[in-house]
Amino acid sequence: MTDMIIIEEATGEIGTEPENRSVETLLTYGIVNIDKVKGPSSHQVSDYVQKILGITKAGHSGTLDPAVTGVQPVAIGRATKVTQFLLKSAKEYICVMHVHKDLEPSVIKEALSKFIGKIQQMPPVKSAVKRQLRTREIYELEVMEIEKRDVLFRVKCEAGTYIRALCNDVGKKIGGAHMACLRRTAAGAFNEDDNLITLDDLRDALYYYKEKQNEKYIRYCIQPVEHALKYIKKAYIFDSAILSMSHGRDLGAPGISKLENFQKGETVAVMTLKGEVVAVGTAEMSAVQISTDRKGLAVKTSKVFFEATKEDLEKLNKENQIARAAAEKEDSEKETTEKENSK
């Protein structure tokens, strides 16, 4: 668990805990972790989610070829703002690579081990990007099983890495190889253990909710958007700072109650004290500097998620009135003390 720096303890009254959102809210502001099957493209999967839920907007976490299966998080409604962070996040795959001649397992393992770290890749002919040499990083590469000419391996890599190209490049070192089968097992904060569902599961869950008034299955299928930000460092703000940030303002250091230990330049999720994401931005100071100086611009906002409800606004107005009354009382007492001292 990430260390938390407590600046000033506080309790949040604004907003709702993500796990307590209404189903109606989740249906326009959440994420579904789809188990993509062979056949449809990633865009088609997003379109299917839209049609099933009857919404106007959905976005996926990174393109998968039609023949590739596995983890395909799809953000719905207002939550599509989070897809830019999913697109840039690390991915993990299980791949079957077929080598073109009989080789000793040790030879195959040695060849694969040389591709851990920074590598140069040329995207395949059929790809969504311009074909030019580019650098990508392989974080982990583990050979799980070798059976004759078929090699089963797990790879964790930087976003935008082409596993088909990886297999071809390995093949150039050992006399030929190609990708025979590929499944994505993780995309950013989501893996196969994080409520992975099929499109049919989603359709059935919606039926039970609408026709049987049973929320259990739809709540399992649609996750709060905050789940996508699991690996992004966070800053938790006082209620008094929420409204201005929800209108796109940057975050000043005095508005922060507690924060995780991030560095200047890191992406930071700004949260309410109830755990709702307000905005995402870039740290203009390190967490240590923020907690020490307590002044200046802390986070420059890039994406706003929070929308204040009527109830939130009423609570904020009440809090502001109480704060003003307390300030006026303090000023009055200070003025009275000064007059008494001057006598």
- Which of these ranges, 118-122, 277-281, 310-314, has the smallest mean pLDDT? 310-314
Percent of the chain with pLDDT over 70: 89
Predicted structure pTM score: 0.86
250 is catalytic: no
CB 43 within 8 A of CB 60: yes
- Nearest-angstrom CA–CA distance, 60 and 39: 16
> In which band, very low, low, confident or very high, does the pLDDT at 86 lie, cut at 50, 70 and 90?
confident
Grouping H, G, I as helix, E, B as strand and the rest as coil, residue 83 is helix
Q: What is the pLDDT of residue 324?
A: 60
Radius of gyration of the CA atoms of the chain, in A: 25
* Residue of 65, 169, 250, 312 marked catalytic: 65
User: How do residues 222-242 score in pLDDT, each as one tens digit?
Assistant: 999 999 999 999 999 999 999
> From CA 115, how far away is CA 92, in angstroms rounded?
15
Structure tokens at 174: 């050992």
* The pLDDT of residue 332: 65
